[in-house]
Structure 1
Amino acid sequence: MAARAGVSPGLVSRLLNNDASLTVRPETREAVLDAVRELDYVPNSSAASLRRNRTEAIGLVLDRVTNPVFTEVVHGAQEAAAEFGYGLLMADAEEAEEDETFLAGIIKSRRVDGLLLQGGYGPRAAMLQRYSEAIPSVIVNSTGNGAASGVRLEDDAAARVATAHLLGLGHRNVAFVTGSPGAASDARQRGYEEALTNVGLPLRPDLAIPGGWQAEDGMRAVREWLRSGRGADADAYVVGTSVAALGVLAALAEAGVRVPDDVSVVGIHDPWFAPYVTPTLTTVALPLFELGRRSILQLMTHLESGKPPEAVISDPAPRLIVRESTRQR
């Protein structure tokens, strides 16, 4: 291309990279741009990345890539990454736990510049700790660790909003179906308990149901709980995530418990399916798009200047969306 324009390769490179210090005659600039158009030139981003010692790729490790709650997280991360000229490489934490070869190989060969790690709870937390010690990382929707900072949502506030809604409808025996053990689930249970104590209700351990993040977790937990007889007087449920709430609705229907005639149900997060289940699901929406975006910004800071402080997304605040699964007592 330089030969076609009659200039040096260095001048072409500086012109195409918008070198502000370059002074060139208008006719020379036009000759280079004509050559670019004639040869259908595309800049070699790989070579540019090598010069900057960057891959222009970020790994995003999700607890389950098929989980509909993560759709907006991925969307937000993709948009923010693109603003920095990066692409995302997604991986499933469950699959990585079963066979670490793929993800470990990517990290060892430096095919990504950093990682966003979601799902840092339970036994999987140790695996993610190893990854975050090997490459710049951010823990998504959880507290950080010694190597990586975290970006969190106001999970406690979301559960307070959900529980306060049920209390405002006249419910007094509100059960809570937890997520998998970890920071997010602990915060949501704390918010649930705070809402109860705020109105002078006692905390009842028999109304705390160990669950999980998946639909099968919610169904198993509530099915077993009802069969044990512990849920006889429960008149409402706050579910740690709306995905698990699908299983809760199924378990209640299986037991002949009608929603919302007999009990009300609220799920945390507002995934796309919430308005399409029967009954439509009352939810508390959290800023998942912003979670993905802020996680990328946090990682960019880490890449440039080292581990940043923890971040909590408080704007926008958790938002109640009332649908058919809750009713006045």
Structure 2
Amino acid sequence: MATIKEIAAKAGYSPATVSRLLNNDPSLSTTAETRQKIMAVADELGYWRNHRRQKNRKQLRLALLYRISGKEQLQDEYFAFLRKAIIKEAKAEGIVLQSFQRIDDLIEAAAAFNGFVGVGADKVTQKKLAALHEKLPAGVFIDINPAPRLFDSVKPNLELTIQDALQKLVAAGYQRIGFIGGEGLNLNNIQQKDAREIAFREFTSLQGIKEAPVFIGGQFNVSTGYQLGKRVIDQVGDHLPDAFIVASDTLSVGVLQAFNEAGVMVPRDTAVISINNSEVANYVSPPLSSYNINQETLSRMALGLVRDLIKYPSRPHVHLQVNTDLVIRKSFIS
């Protein structure tokens, strides 16, 4: 059976340092390199196998890096429900979870945690993310990953979602298909394109869809959807696409408001397929056909990846995707 002394001798550190690290001493300050080396040696010598019961009795402490503002959360309930799902899954697994909104605050408190789960990453820099990795390398981002070389991630498979939506629309006889979406991640002060927009442009080209107008702008909220809906009416007039794929339910709510004001009837004049399947999808007029993103699955898999990173800190990073499924309502019926 591997002992602390044996691990310390092979790793080249004092038994006291090894003991404090393996027992998650929050007052211990070490570099990521030191942590990774000790953990790798402990794994090599079978420490985890021999101490599984003792280890499992220790309560895992994780941080939730939740970089979603209160205003954004109210406007896009997807993130509010995702946060609730993470807290619920953590509680079910007996994990102590503490929320942080600022990366600097988490970096300062990193010694008190075994790892973290991140939600949202707008307007962060690689420098800050590298500093976080130095202090707390066991991190998993949900939905979007601003640093895939540093942290694991679990995401809904939005590329496959867009491809599936296009296939369903084409199979239903729609030939002119538009896309309405928001802006992607802002990283290092550079505005990125959203994955749904990229996928739409790629798959419409591959499928030979000649009329595939794209309308992009702003955050994923109702106000942006309303403005984009008005832009659609102003720019295409009577030549409205047969159908639209809208990147989120909150955008769809605004789009439907703009369409209703202009006398555009959904699905009579144009069909709408949305993404998220949030509660609001049931209550707008008409109710939205929307792709369901299983947030409980995202949360559970993220917590599993954090555990695995803590146990195997030197393993390659993993990026998982979770499929979505279309819930049919009145805005599009296949």
Gap change, CA 1:181 and 1:220, over 3 Å in 2: same
Correspondence for 1:156:
159
Q: Is the 8 A contact 2:61 2:96 kept in 1?
A: yes
Give the CA deviation at 1:218.
1.6
Please say if residues 58 and 86 of structure 1, whose CA atoms lie closer than 8 Å, have aligned partners that are also in contact. no
Structure 1 residue 157: Cα displacement: 0.9
Match of 1:140 in 2: 142
Hey, what's the Cα distance between the residues in 1 that align with 2:134 and 2:237?
44
User: Conserved in 2, the CA contact under 8 Å of 1:225 and 1:231?
Assistant: no
Residue of structure 2 equivalent to 1:77: 86
- Structure 2 CA distance for aligned equivalents of residues 222 and 126 of structure 1: 35
Q: Find the aligned partners of 1:221 and 1:133 in 2 and give their Cα distance.
A: 41
**3-state SS, counterpart of residue 237 of structure 1:** strand
Query: SS of 1:284's equivalent?
Result: strand
Identity value in percent: 20
1:327 to partner: Cα distance: 5.0
Give 1:35-184 correspondences, 5 Å limit: 52-53=24-25, 56-63=61-68, 64-66=72-74, 67-91=76-100, 96=101, 100=102, 104-110=104-110, 111-121=112-122, 123-124=123-124, 126=126, 129=129, 130-136=131-137, 137-143=139-145, 144-182=147-185
Which AA in structure 2 matches 1:301?
D
**Aligned residue identity for 1:221:** L
* Alpha carbons 1:209, 1:221 under 8 Å: kept: yes
User: Residues 249 and 280 of structure 2 are in contact (CA less than 8 Å); yes or no, is this contact kept in structure 1?
Assistant: no
1:76, 1:289 within 8 Å by CA — same for their partners in 2? yes
CA distance in 2: counterparts of 1:235 and 1:211, whole angstroms: 24
Determine whether 1:313 maps to 2:321: yes
Q: CA deviation at 1:177?
A: 1.4
- In structure 1, the residue matched to 2:249 is 242
Alignment partners' CA distance in 1, 2:243 and 2:159: 18
How many angstroms apart in 1 are the aligned matches of 2:126 and 2:228? 25
Q: Deviations over 1:176-235 (max 9, x none)?
A: 11232249964323443455345432364x434345422222222232343244784322
Q: Label 1:106 to 1:311 Cα distance change in 2 as closer, same or farther (>3 A).
A: closer
Query: Which deviates more, 138-147 or 178-187?
Result: 178-187
Residue 87 and residue 248 in structure 1: after superposition, are their counterparts in 2 closer, same or farther (change >3 A)? farther
**What is the CA distance between 1:65 and its match in structure 2?**
4.1
Maintained 8 Å contact 2:183/2:194:
no
* TM-score, normalised relative to structure 2: 0.68
Deviations 1:252-294 (A, max 9, x none): 1222211112111111111122112111011011222111111
In structure 1, the residue matched to 2:220 is 213
Which has the larger Rg? 1
- Structure 1 unaligned blocks of 5 or more: 1-48
The equivalent position to 2:275 in structure 1, one of 256, 264, 268, is 268
Segment drifting more, 296-305 vs 67-76 = 67-76
1:42 is matched with none
Contact 2:245 2:272 survives alignment (8 Å) = yes
Counterpart contact for 2:62–2:98, Cα < 8 Å: yes
Q: What amino acid is the match of 2:170? A: L
Cα distance, 1:82–1:141 mapped onto 2, change above 3 Å = same
- Note the alpha carbon deviations across 1:95-139, whole angstroms, 9 max, x for none: x5xxx4xx5234303344432222235x34558625445423222
Where in structure 2 are there 5+ consecutive unaligned residues?
1-20, 27-59, 187-191
TM-score by length of 1: 0.69
Q: 1:74 to 1:161 in 2, by over 3 A?
A: same
For residues 260 and 125 of structure 1, do their structure 2 counterparts lie closer, same or farther at Cα, with a shift above 3 Å needed? farther
- In 2, Cα distance between equivalents of 1:219 and 1:171: 24
Answer whether contact 2:222 2:250 (CA < 8 A) is retained.
yes
Match of 1:40 in 2: none
Alignment root-mean-square deviation, CA: 3.3
Distance of 1:88 and 1:65 partners within structure 2: 19
Q: Name the counterpart of 1:287.
A: 294
Equivalent residues of 1:141, 1:153 under 8 A apart: yes
